[in-house]
Amino acid sequence: MGLQLRKTRVAESLPACPLTETLALLRGAWAPNVIWYLSACPRRFGELRHDIPRISARVLSARLRELETRGLVTRRLLDTSPPSAEYALTDLGRELLPAIDALARVGHKLIRQWEKHPPRQPAARARATGR
């Protein structure tokens, strides 16, 4: 005989979990990074590639399209030769910035901590790498 399943006390009236819905907006590799780099001002595609050097053009293009479809980013065509586009955050995209800023602050703390005391490798991994 198993334990009785208890009802949750968290917002039972909602049809979907608000956290899941918010995180779904940020799904996909590099999506939070793109939002982070658009937070200061609108950027062109090449500028974002420069800001995030490890992202490929293909992935950046896909992320920008997805973020635009989700209503987080707008794309404005510039009257230049050759044609260019500028990407900016929408009001909804800007609402995500406090959460992304909080994650970035934790990241800064972790980096400072690791610089002082590098994390130890697990024993199995250390044996596999010969360290």
Give the separation between CA 124 and CA 64, rounded to whole angstroms: 39
Helical (H) or strand (E) element with 77: strand 73-78
Give the separation between CA 26 and CA 66, rounded to whole angstroms: 10
Give the separation between CA 37 and CA 34, rounded to whole angstroms: 5
Domain 18-129 has CATH 1.10.10.10: yes
| Sequential pLDDT tens for the chain (131 residues) | 688 887 777 665 567 788 888 888 888 889 999 999 999 999 999 999 999 999 999 999 999 999 999 999 999 999 988 889 999 999 999 999 999 999 999 999 999 999 998 888 776 655 665 55
Per-residue pLDDT at 13 = 58
Phi, psi (degrees; rounded to nearest 5) at 121:
-80, 145
Per-residue pLDDT at 21 = 87
Q: Is 53 helix (H, G, I), strand (E, B) or coil?
A: coil
